[in-house]
Structures are given as C-alpha cells and as structure tokens.
Structure 1
Amino acid sequence: MERILGIDPGSRVTGYGVIEADRGRLYFVACGVVKTTVKYPLNFRLNEIFDGINEVIQVHNPVVTAVEDVFLADNPRSALKLGQARGAAIVAAMQNGMQVFDYTPRTIKQAVSGYGQAEKGQMQHMVRMLLNLSGTPSSDASDALAVAICHANQLNL
C-alpha cells in the first residue's frame, strides 16, 4: 500500500488530497485546502503554502507527492504566481524527503475520467465515484485528489 499526496497549486488556495493505493484499489485518507492571506504580499503567501503542505505531510505521512504542472494561462503574471506557489509546495515535499512527480492537466483528466478535455464537474464526479465518497469535496481539494489518483493510475498501484 502506498500513500500519495496530490497537490493542486494556487497562490490563493492550494488544494491537497491524500489517498492510499493498493493493488488497483484506491482509498480516501484526507483532503482540504491551504488558504493564503490574500492581503499579504506573495512572498508571505508562498511561506503559508510551504507551511501548510509541510503540516499535511507531517499529519498524514504520504510517501510520494504528485503535483499538477503549470498550464499556459491567459495572463503571464498569473502563470508566474502559479509557478511560484507550485514551487513552494514542491520544496515542502522535497524537504520531507519525498519524491515528486508532475502531471499535466490533460494527463490528470485522462487518467481520472478517460477524457483529456473533461470539465470540472465531470472530474469532481469521477473523484467522488473512484474514492467512494459520500459528498463532493471542494473544487481545489477534488482537483488535488485527482492528481493523486492520476499518479496511482500511472504507476498501476
């Protein structure tokens, strides 16, 4: 059994999802978000992301991390902020001795829904079904769980 941390990075809200994968079966462990203080400068928010992901790792003890890769955004400034948030989350995982894997949004959608152009609602539904959840997690937490599921599928765990 392998415990996987999935991360959906964002400069305002970073989603996380922890699952266990064992011989093709997936089990939900935890999910949530790290919300940053938007009124503070970006460097302070990056530290909040680092601390939040570090805390998730300490509490849930995943052995590997999967992170959504940066996609081409319409606004270059937004893409840069997203990349920095992603970097803060990756450094938190690396500081805890974890191996980090990157997946594109298209790869994640393909792995979870079977369709690389799946919409948010479809992805949330599939995450809920694959993990046998009684409710639907928030959008950011659901995206992070999808990243973790993608990693489990890629490795055929």
Structure 2
Amino acid sequence: MIILGIDPGIAIVGYGVVEYKNNSFRVIDYGAVTTPAHTDLTVRLEMVYKGIDTIIKSYDIDEVGIEELFFNKNVKTAITVAQARGVTLLACAHNNIPVHEYTPLQIKQGVCGYGRADKSQIQKSVTSFLRLKRVPKPDDVADALAIAICHAHSNKLEKTLKNINGL
C-alpha cells in the first residue's frame, strides 16, 4: 500500500509518501509544499491544491492520512489552515483517493505508543521506523511521515479486527 501522509497548513504543507508492505516501511518521497507570505490567500490556496494534486499524480497513492484540524488560539490562523486543508481534501477527492483523518493524539499513539509524546519523540520514532539517517525537516515533513505511519498501523489494526469478526 502506498500512503500519502499530509500535515496541512498554509505556509507549509508537509507530505510524506511511504510504502507499507509486509509490516515494513519504505520511504518513497517527502517534502513540503510551501507558499510565500504576503501572497494573496486565493493564490496560496491554489498553490497548495496544485502541489498536492501533483504529488498524488506523481505516485500511485492508495490512501491518504491527514491530520484533523485542532482549534488554535488564533482563530484567524485556524480558519486559514482550515481553508488550506479543504483544498488538500479537494485534491484527494478529485483523484478518488480515500482519506483518513487522525487527531494529534492518535498520531502520537500510532507512532510512539504514547499520546502525550513530544515533538522530539515523534521525530526519533519516525526516523527509526523509516530508517532515515536524519530527522526530516521542517517539522511539518516529519509530522506528515508520522501521519503516514499512523495510518499504516491503524489500517492494519482495522483489517485485523475485520478478520477476527469475520467481516
């Protein structure tokens, strides 16, 4: 299964493309879609959409894992990030890619086994799971890879439960 993990944002959208096969991970690509500050919001949203669309079209993506939006103290920032997340979801929908959403707590549990793990613990786990030489930067990229790992683990658990229940 080829999984695209996405950490949504307006300035930086982290992404990670991983293959999960036989309980093993292989990194295909990772990076960030970035938009310049002081650029019209509609232009930035279009840049996010096109960037994610290009990534989806560049790989044979089976499923997408994306972080759910959590409420930020700065409402204006939260709304802008929500709009960027919306165009990201639209790119997935236009490409008929199933999307699975995860809370920060679920991502931390899925990668570290502990829902209160800090950023450095997540980064170390991502680096270890994916056998990377160094922590991916910026942090949004490491977060996107963590989301892909979380989805792989969640998807495996879901399939196991279906098999146990005979569904």
For the superposition of Structure 1 and Structure 2, which TM-score range results when normalised by the shorter chain?
A: over 0.9
5 Å-filtered alignment, 1:4-153, equals 4-138=3-137, 139-153=139-153
> Secondary structure, in 3 states, of the residue corresponding to 1:140?
helix
2:128 and 2:87 map into 1 onto residues whose CA distance is 30
The percentage of aligned residue pairs carrying the same residue is 39
1:17 and 1:122 map into 2 onto residues whose CA distance is 18
CA RMSD of aligned residues (A): 1.1
Q: Which amino acid aligns with 2:125?
A: M
Segments of structure 2 that go 5 or more residues without pairing to the other structure are 158-167
Segments of structure 1 that go 5 or more residues without pairing to the other structure are none
1:137 and 1:123 map into 2 onto residues whose CA distance is 11
> Secondary structure, in 3 states, of the residue corresponding to 2:156?
coil
- Report the CA distance between 1:62 and its aligned residue: 1.0
- Report the CA distance between 1:61 and its aligned residue: 2.1
- Report the CA distance between 1:27 and its aligned residue: 1.3
Q: Which amino acid aligns with 1:92?
A: A
- Report the CA distance between 1:85 and its aligned residue: 0.9
1:109 and 1:81 map into 2 onto residues whose CA distance is 24
> Secondary structure, in 3 states, of the residue corresponding to 2:140?
helix
Q: TM-score w.r.t. structure 2 length?
A: 0.90
1:60-81 per-position Cα deviation (integer Å, ceiling 9, x unaligned): 2211111100012111111111
1:31 and 1:97 map into 2 onto residues whose CA distance is 21
1:101 and 1:47 map into 2 onto residues whose CA distance is 22
Superposition misfits of 4+ residues, deviation over 4 angstroms: none
1:58 and 1:6 map into 2 onto residues whose CA distance is 15
Which deviates more from structure 2 when the two are superposed, residues 10-19 or residues 52-61?
A: 52-61
2:123 and 2:62 map into 1 onto residues whose CA distance is 24
Q: Which amino acid aligns with 2:51?
A: G
Q: TM-score w.r.t. structure 1 length?
A: 0.96
Q: Which amino acid aligns with 1:113?
A: C
Tell me how many residue pairs correspond in the alignment.
Answer: 156
- Report the CA distance between 1:23 and its aligned residue: 2.5
The structure whose RCO (Cα within 8 Å, separation 6+) is larger is 1
